Amino acid sequence: MGNRIRDLIILIAVIAGLAYWRQKPAETSPAPVPSPRSTFPDTAPAFTLHSNFGPPRTFDGKGPLVVVLTAVGCSDCIPRIPRDREIYAMAKKANVPYYNVLVHIEDDAAGARFVKQHQPAGDDILNDPGGRVFVGQYLGSDNNCQMVIGRKGEFLYRGPENKEAMQKAISSL
């Protein structure tokens, strides 16, 4: 009889714990970047971002352009930097500009520190604090961290890391 009472108490405790856990408010994570878009744009929006190599860089929305997003603090992005250099070499061979855009950084100083420490490749390394352009307008993410923009601003590739798809898109320019 003592074991049944003990089992009943354990069962009640488990049920009470589950009920409490379901009622517990979800822990808050950083607010996502507000986006004026809910779907991918058909063409690349224009932008102006600060450069780690000189004056701010303005893009009018027309390509060609290769863009790779690097999220500062991303556990997958930092090890990907050597593979990004391969994409950069493809772009250089095809004479297509290549921007590496640092997203989720606090400010330009954080971008400069990241560049000094990790040395990402690119014709230019741009800072997108808070991801306002490439997360907010371009809807970039870990699933859309590589982009090839065609001459008319159309996206020839927009997706996750994919060397073959990037090569195909760059070759089509």
> Does some domain include residue 139?
yes
CA-to-CA distance for 45 and 131, rounded, in angstroms? 14
Average pLDDT over residues 131-142: 89
> Does some domain include residue 36?
no
> Residue 107: pLDDT above 50?
yes
Q: Look at the chain and report how many structural domains it folds into.
A: 1
pLDDT-based confidence at 19, cuts 50/70/90? low
Query: CA separation (Å) from 10 to 1, 2, 5, 24, 60?
Result: 14, 12, 9, 21, 65
> Residue 31: pLDDT above 90?
no
> In which order are the strands placed within the sheet that holds 146-149?
57-59, 47-51, 124-128, 98-103, 65-71, 146-149, 155-159
> Does some domain include residue 157?
yes
pLDDT-based confidence at 106, cuts 50/70/90? confident
> Does some domain include residue 117?
yes
User: 156 or 22: whose pLDDT is higher?
Assistant: 156
> Does some domain include residue 37?
no
The residue range of the domain holding 91 is 47-171
Q: Which CATH number covers residue 102?
A: 3.40.30.10
What proportion of the chain, given as a percentage, has pLDDT over 90?
A: 58
Average pLDDT over residues 16-42: 53
What is the reported pLDDT for 2? 63
The SS3 assignment for 107 reads coil
* Residue at token pair 């990790």: 118
> Residue 32: pLDDT above 50?
no
Q: What is the pLDDT of residues 157-172, one digit of tens each?
A: 999 999 999 999 999 9
Total count of residues recorded for the chain = 173
> Does some domain include residue 28?
no
> Does some domain include residue 85?
yes
> Residue 29: pLDDT above 70?
no
Q: What is the pLDDT of residues 65-101, one digit of tens each?
A: 999 999 987 888 899 999 999 999 999 999 999 999 9
The SS3 assignment for 148 reads strand
CA-to-CA distance for 47 and 44, rounded, in angstroms? 9
What is the reported pLDDT for 24? 44
What is the reported pLDDT for 10? 61
Contact 105, 72 (CB under 8 A): yes
Contact 87, 37 (CB under 8 A): no
Residues ≥6 apart with Cβ < 8 Å to 51: 57, 124, 125, 126, 127
> Residue 16: pLDDT above 70?
no
Average pLDDT over residues 23-34: 44
> Does some domain include residue 146?
yes
Average pLDDT over residues 31-57: 78
